[in-house]
Amino acid sequence: MYLIIVSIIGAAVIGGGAVASYTNLVTKRRSSAASDQASKILDEARANAKELTLEAKTEALRVAEAAKREEKERRTDRKSVV
């Protein structure tokens, strides 16, 4: 009878350890997958930010050049009026 009780307790301890190990493994895998997904999203956001920054700089340059052209035209018009 004593041997049966010890066997049951041993099986419960081993089973509990197995469940704990399995749970730990699954948690690590989920955490790793979530981390990979977060890294991918962050990389995409950074790439998008770089693209938007480049577009904004290009547009700012275009606007500045247009303003310079307009200023030059106004100066030319003023000279021709005088």
Tens digits of pLDDT across the chain (82 residues)? 888 888 888 888 888 889 999 899 999 999 999 999 999 999 999 999 999 999 999 999 999 999 999 999 888 877 776 6
Distance CA 82, CA 77 (A): 9
**Claim: this prediction has a pTM higher than 0.75:** no
* Burial track 27-66 (b if 16+ CB lie within 10 A, e otherwise): eeeeeeeeeeeeeeeeeeeeeeeeeeeeeeeeeeeeeeee
